[in-house]
Structures are given as structure tokens and as C-alpha cells.
Amino acid sequence: MKKIKTKGSQVIIGEDVFIALKKTLKAYASHKKFLLVDENSFTHCVSEFIVQTDLTNDIEIIEIESGEENKTLEICQHIWQTFLDFNADRKTLLINLGGGVITDLGGFIASTYKRGIDFINVPTTLLAQIDASVGGKVGIDFNHYKNVIGVFNEPQLVVIYPYFLKTLNKRQMLSGYAEALKHGLIADKLYWKMLQAGLLSDANNWEKLIETSIEIKNNIVKNDFEEKGERKKLNFGHTIGHAIESHSLKHDQLPLLHGEAIAVGMICEAYLSHIKLNLSSKELKEISDTFLIYFNPYPINESFFNHYLELMKNDKKNENDTYNFTLLKKIGEAEFNHEVSVENIVESLKYYISITK
């Protein structure tokens, strides 16, 4: 089992993580425990989880519908009410078993119920294992704005059992892969090259991929937990990506997944890096080509631009009414706090349209 120490907690990764989890759970033996799942983590992961932890008669399962559209205040209210119905007190433990929606939402619910109860993340998607469940950002969407309500708060433990990924479909795996590619782009050129070549895609290499991504994220977050500076590097691709994701959630019948939207955002923001920080044409092409190999081109058109810009204005990453970006100097090296004009953002969206026609 691999252990990674975070600012105030710990991530454990491997096939034998449940031994450590059972030890941690001893401290909660006499307290109420809830398990938050959606229908897919219920179907594919709950029985394994219950068997491995021996929690059969000792935990209440709360199941919600899957999907980003459920990362809302209404669902929080439903779960807070369930806690009250069961007389959950401040010593209650919430275990979040699911993808990034479950760990973001469950983390927020736990952090705010009775001014905060303990929670443990057991992520079951690639995206949640390498990114969402680690780093202490928890929150919900509001009025179609992504993650605008939330707090920084770490779980007691993050338990990563790569075996859970076996039931994840290819589209969901790729959505997580986008965040891994981002980790390479902002901090580790060799990792980017390995991912680009598909060298870590095989199930035998999942642990290595998960560990590398978490180490990269953790090394950045450790120094800047509340995102005053360096942590902004992790936002590469997310300023435009979140706007595209929010727009898609509102307008598309089959909305983009988080990683798919971020992939579009990373192409646009690589273009901004090219015009603002002299990222070379060769690396811009390498980044664009790689994302277009892994992800189907998403059709955007100029009539969406105003809505994208409006969504970006309200993105929590922007300060003082300016558009603030993390950009790449080169592959493996990111810089944060670069102001970008509306004209440049529009140009980057047009670049995306031009290469996906």
C-alpha cells in the first residue's frame, strides 16, 4: 500500500487499503455512520466495500441520482434532513463512495452539517481518484455556475482502491485521463509524454498513474491550500473549460463530461499560452493534436461566445472583473495570474473552431 501525506490528512492507494481503513473506522465504532453513493457506485462498489470493511449492519446508505446536475443545494438539503431524521450528531462519520460529484457534494455536506463532521473519501472513478477526492476543495454548483458554493476542508482519509475502476466505461475513464494530462502539462513533461503515448493506460499501470497524478497535485496544494497563488496552476484549462461545461450542462441533451470540457479548455488555453507566453507553435500543435486524438471534437459556435464570457466572469478564479488565466510557458511549466483580454479569449475559441472543422 502506498501512502501520501497531504496537508492535514493522508491518501492511501492499493489493493490492501481496506485493512488501513478498518483501523481508522475503529475510532468511529460507537458513532453513526452514513455511506453516500449514487446508483452506479451502489451497483458496482457497495457490496465490495461492505464486505471489505465489515460494516454490514452498522451503516446507513444514502443513495442519490448520478450526474453533475445533482451537485446542488436541493440534494444537500435532502441529505442534511436525512441526517436530522437519524439524529446524526457532531461525531457522525460520512463516507463518500463514488465519483467526483459524490466526493465534492458529500465533502461539502459533511463540512457544513453542525459546523462540520468527519468524512472519508473512497473515490470510484479515475477523475475522483487522481483529482477530485484529494486537495480539500469541496462544493456544489449553483444556478449553472460550477463549484461556486464551497469550502476548503480535507477528509480524514482518502482510500483509493484502483480495482473499482474495472467497471468504469471508456468515456468516463477518458474524462479522468484529461486531468492526468493536465498534471503532466503543468508540472511534468515526462509524465505528459508517457500519457500521450498511452503508456499508463493498461490496468497494470493504473496505480502508477494515480500515484503520479496525486503526487503532482499534492506537491502544489501542500504549499498553497487555499489557492492564494501556486495552486492556481491546477486551474489550467478550467477557466474556459468550466464555461464550456456549464453551457453544455444547460443546453446539450447529452452534456459534456468534466474532463471532456477541460480538454477543450486546455486547447484554447494552450493557444492563449502561445500568444501571451510564447509557448512554441510546435508544443501548441502537440497539445492540440493529443487532445483531439483522445477526445471527439466538440462543436462550438460563435453564437455561444457571449454566454461563455459571462460564465467566465463569474468564475471564482477571476478577480476584480478581469479574466485571469494559468498559462503554459512550455510543456511541464505553468504560470498563474495572467490577465487575458476578451479579444484574446475570443481568438482562442476561434482557434479551437478552426482546428476542429
Which residue is listed with cell 478550467?
238
> Which among 27, 210, 222 has a CA at the least distance from the CA of 120?
27
- Nearer to ligand NAD among residue 106 and residue 274 (C-beta): 106
Nearer to ligand NAD, 28 or 53 (CB): 53
240 contact partners, CB below 8 Å, separation of at least 6: 264, 265, 268, 269, 308, 312, 345, 348, 349
DSSP β-bridge partners for residue 328: 334
Q: Residue 241 interacts with ligand NAD (CB under 6 A)?
A: no
In contact, 312 and 318? CB cutoff 8 Å: yes
**Which residues inside 145-174 make contact with ligand NAD, applying CB under 6 A?**
146-147, 164, 167-168, 172
Residue 266 lies near ligand NAD (rule: CB under 6 A): no
Which residue, 183 or 258, has its beta carbon nearer to ligand NAD? 258
Q: Tell me the window of 66-74, 182-190, 202-210, 346-354 that interacts with ligand NAD (CB under 6 A).
A: 66-74
Q: Which stretch binds ligand NAD (CB under 6 A): 77-85, 98-106, 190-198, 273-281?
A: 98-106
C-beta closer to ligand NAD: residue 40 or 324: 40
β-bridge pairing 118-123 and 33-38: unpaired
Q: Rule CB under 6 A: is residue 260 a binding residue for ligand NAD?
A: no
Helix axes 238-251, 342-356, angle to 10 degrees: 70
Does residue 183 bind ligand NAD (CB under 6 A)?
no
Residues 102-131 touching ligand NAD, rule: CB under 6 A, are: 102, 104, 124-125, 127-128, 131
The Cβ of residue 309 has, within 10 Å, a number of other Cβ atoms equal to: 16
Taking the C-alpha atoms of residue 81 and residue 304, their distance in angstroms, rounded to an integer, is 39
Q: If binding is defined by CB under 6 A, does position 213 make contact with ligand NAD?
A: no
Structural contact between residues 150 and 139, judged by C-beta atoms closer than 8 angstroms: yes
Instruction: By CB under 6 A, tell whether 68 contacts ligand NAD.
Output: yes
Contacts with ligand NAD by CB under 6 A lie at: 38, 40-41, 44-45, 66-68, 71, 98-102, 104, 124-125, 127-128, 131-132, 135, 137, 146-147, 164, 167-168, 172, 175, 258
